[in-house]
Amino acid sequence: MSSNDKKRMADVFGARANRRQMIRGAAGAGLAAPAFAAGLQAAGAAGTTRFATVDRAQGTPKKGGTFVCLGDQEVVGLSPEDADPTVVWAVVCQIHDSLYEQDENNELQPALAESYTISPDGKTWTFKLRKGVKFHNGDDFTSEDVKYTYDWIMDAKNGSTRIGNFDLVAKVDAPDPLTVVVTLKAPSPSMLFNVGGTYIYPAKYHAQVGEKGYKAKPVGTGPFKLKEWNAAERTTLTAFDDHFRGRPYVDEFRMDVVPEASGRAAALEAGKADTTIWPLGPEDNQSIKDGGKFAYWDWVQGAINHFPLNNEHPFLSDKEARKAMMYAIDRQSIVDDIFQGAAVVADSNMSPAFKWHTDDVTKYDYDPDKAKQTLDAAGWTGSGTRAKNGQKAAFECIVKTGDTVRRPEAEIVQQLFKDVGIDMQLREEPSPAMLDGMRTGKADAALFNWTYGTADPDATNELSSGGANNFSHFKNAKVDELLKQGLTEMDEKKRIAIYQQIQQIITEEVPFLYILILKATTFYAKRVKGVPEKMLNGDNFIQKVYQVWIEG
């Protein structure tokens, strides 16, 4: 889990949820807690993790072959700066390493770091780095590279999109080649997610070619190095002989770009690829499972499929009306019939994949009569489209252009709203326009997936008054205060309580309509050996292609 994984935006652009939640979610599961509780001491020893989860029954590793992954969109660049979309990340993570990485079971594993210690005030983090690590160009990896990378991101004139992860960082020091000291402005329980997961640039090389040159010719410490980059078609990487975990078994890693979901499914069934990093439709998933050529893992994602609502809109500003809308949506049927069970109903802003999640919230089961009563009671009355004091119970909802999953979903909700007297018009727009419309308040509502807290539960950008991604224009003084506390609360239990309280307020206020959380299915061809039996976050396993081999 690197900083970039935290923020896959992919789901806005593609049909489905993204990685970020997962990754962070992962963290939720196991990682940081014990370390923080102890206040000090290091996470696991380095170098022992490689085959920890491998099923021994899979035989002896063999060398050779090409591992093929399918992605849905262009690999726009090869710098960690470009790695927001999952597909790009899946390539970037082969080339780069961070100090700590999150594995497929949501455990944090040391990568370039061996251990860390935290000062008692929680403000000084000292990382011990791994020895003898080489970059693809032969340079040695040292603390200078880490300092350079962090400093580069924090320098506002570089325009890094990862700058927000370093908000709490005061300075970075490299006292000796194998030690990095990060000093924080305030204690931060999310330090390992926000900073520790950042992929490391080679200081000398990056300074020399600049970020622009780096995007086309990256040099990392990762298990694979660049062979050929053809953004729209395919990216080919070759095994790096001097990788610190040892040379990968497969000779090449390839990412093929296939924008059409049905094209990816057909390619998998035809045996043309070993996995796909971007999920398929529920029917396609089923048919590949039935085909028997692939091992698969089902897991719950972290992004919330939701309708953000402009809380300043004359109709949508009425809390009772928003509650009525929740009652009017038959979310269980949408999950069962449209997503064919490949989703779970959302019951707050937080996915149940994370430990921050709580069940103890206001629930909204499908009940159209209750929806009507709630509207009546709130003064929205009349036949056809309801109205109150001349204001119609009507608004417009934006769906991403060409979104063949969420547009039908919006059409269903539109019909359900109509049944209770609410008029929701639909409009398709490209995602930048959709996001801009919600941010500026020019749009009333939209339908897309977003995360409101993940493994790192912070959602200041999303839920605080005036936050950059506060699409619903939600303002709540209590939530603002809780978010602030949560940022620096080092005590795990207290922190959980804070974020559960936020969920309770959200479900009471309903600033947006949370619908469902998708389940993903990760496939690996049966010819691929060295895969684990259990994956709680299938996307993350793509980082570990270095440990698989190809049989036959």
Partner 1 sequence: MLSYIINRLFQGAIVVVLVSILTFLVMQAVPGSPVDLMIGKQKVSIEQRKAIEHKWGFDRPWYDQYFTWAGNLVTGNMGESVVRTGEPVSSMIKNAALMTLRLNVLSFFISIAIAIPIGMLAAIKRYSWFDYGSMLGATIGVTIPNYWIALMGIVLFSVKLGWLPPYGADSWKSYILPVFVLAFEEIAALARLTRGATMEVLGQDYVTTARAKGLKEKVVISRHVLRNALLPIITVIGYRIAFILSGTIVVETVFGWPGMGRLFFDSINRLDYQVVQAIVLVLSIVIVVVNILTDLTYALIDPRVRIR
Partner 2 sequence: MSIDTTGAIRETGPTEKSTPAAGTLATQGVREARSNRNQVWRRFVRYKPGVFGLVFILLLIGCALAAPLIAPHDPFEIHMRLRGHAPSSEYLLGNDSIGRDILSRLIYGTRVALIVGIGATAIAVTIGVTVGAIAGYFGGWVDFVLSRLVDALMAFPLLALLLTLSAVFGPSLRNAVIVIGCSIWASYARIVRAEVLSLREFDYVLAARAAGASDRRIIARHIVPNALGPVIVLASLAIGGVIILESALSFLGLGVRPPTPSWGAMLADGREFLRRYPHIAIAPGIAIAVTVLAFNLVGDGLRDALDPRVTD
- Using CB distances below 5 to 8 A depending on partner kind, what does residue 13 bind out of partner 1, partner 2, none? partner 1
- Picking from 95, 105, 76, 94, the residue whose alpha carbon sits closest to that of residue 9 is 76
- Using CB distances below 5 to 8 A depending on partner kind, what does residue 74 bind out of partner 2, partner 1, none? partner 1
* C-alpha Rg value of the chain to the nearest Å: 24
Q: Give the DSSP H/E element, type plus range, for residue 251.
A: none
**How many whole angstroms separate alpha carbon 12 and alpha carbon 401?**
11
**How many whole angstroms separate alpha carbon 78 and alpha carbon 83?**
7
- Using CB distances below 5 to 8 A depending on partner kind, what does residue 300 bind out of partner 1, partner 2, none? none
**Four-residue CA torsion sign, 421, 425, 426, 431:** negative
**How many whole angstroms separate alpha carbon 387 and alpha carbon 287?**
47
Binder of partner 2 out of 27, 277, 345, 405 (CB under 8 A) = 405
Residues 509-548 that bind partner 2 (CB under 8 A): none
Nearer to partner 1, 167 or 376 (CB): 167
Binder of partner 2 out of 215, 289, 319, 407 (CB under 8 A) = 407
The total number of residues shown for the chain amounts to 552
- Bridge partners of residue 297, in order along the sequence: 522
414 belongs to the binding site for partner 2 (CB under 8 A): yes
- Picking from 315, 420, 312, 331, the residue whose alpha carbon sits closest to that of residue 374 is 420
Binding-site string for partner 2 from residue 375 to residue 404, where x marks contact by CB under 8 A and - marks none? ------------------------x-xxxx
Of 28-36, 57-65, 277-285, 450-458, the segment contacting partner 2 by CB under 8 A is: 277-285
- Bridge partners of residue 400, in order along the sequence: 429
440 belongs to the binding site for partner 2 (CB under 8 A): no
410 neighbors 447 (Cβ within 8 angstroms): yes
Binding-site string for partner 2 from residue 417 to residue 436, where x marks contact by CB under 8 A and - marks none? --------xxxxxx--x---
**Four-residue CA torsion sign, 340, 278, 9, 94:** positive
CB of residue 429 vs partner 2: minimum separation in angstroms? 6
- What does the binding site for partner 1 look like in residue numbers (CB under 8 A)? 4, 6-10, 12-13, 18, 20, 74, 76-79, 82, 84-85, 156-159, 161-165, 167, 194, 212, 214-216, 229-234, 256-260, 262-263, 266-267, 270, 272, 401-402, 429-437, 442, 450-451, 458, 460-461, 466, 468-469
**How many whole angstroms separate alpha carbon 56 and alpha carbon 518?**
32
- Using CB distances below 5 to 8 A depending on partner kind, what does residue 57 bind out of partner 1, partner 2, none? none
Nearer to partner 2, 339 or 524 (CB): 339
CB of residue 259 vs partner 1: minimum separation in angstroms? 5
Binder of partner 2 out of 48, 137, 317, 415 (CB under 8 A) = 415
Binder of partner 2 out of 40, 186, 207, 266 (CB under 8 A) = 266
536 neighbors 370 (Cβ within 8 angstroms): no
Q: Which whole-number Å values give the CA distances from 376 to 137, 389, 530, in the listed order?
A: 70, 13, 60
**How many whole angstroms separate alpha carbon 76 and alpha carbon 53?**
32
Tokens for 525? 């061809």
CB of residue 430 vs partner 2: minimum separation in angstroms? 6
Enumerate residues 6+ apart whose C-beta is below 8 A from 57: none
Of 25-33, 38-46, 130-138, 337-345, the segment contacting partner 2 by CB under 8 A is: 337-345
297 neighbors 521 (Cβ within 8 angstroms): yes
Residues that bind partner 2 (CB under 8 A): 260-262, 265-266, 281, 283-284, 287, 330, 333-334, 336-338, 340, 399, 401-405, 407-408, 410-412, 414-415, 425-430, 433
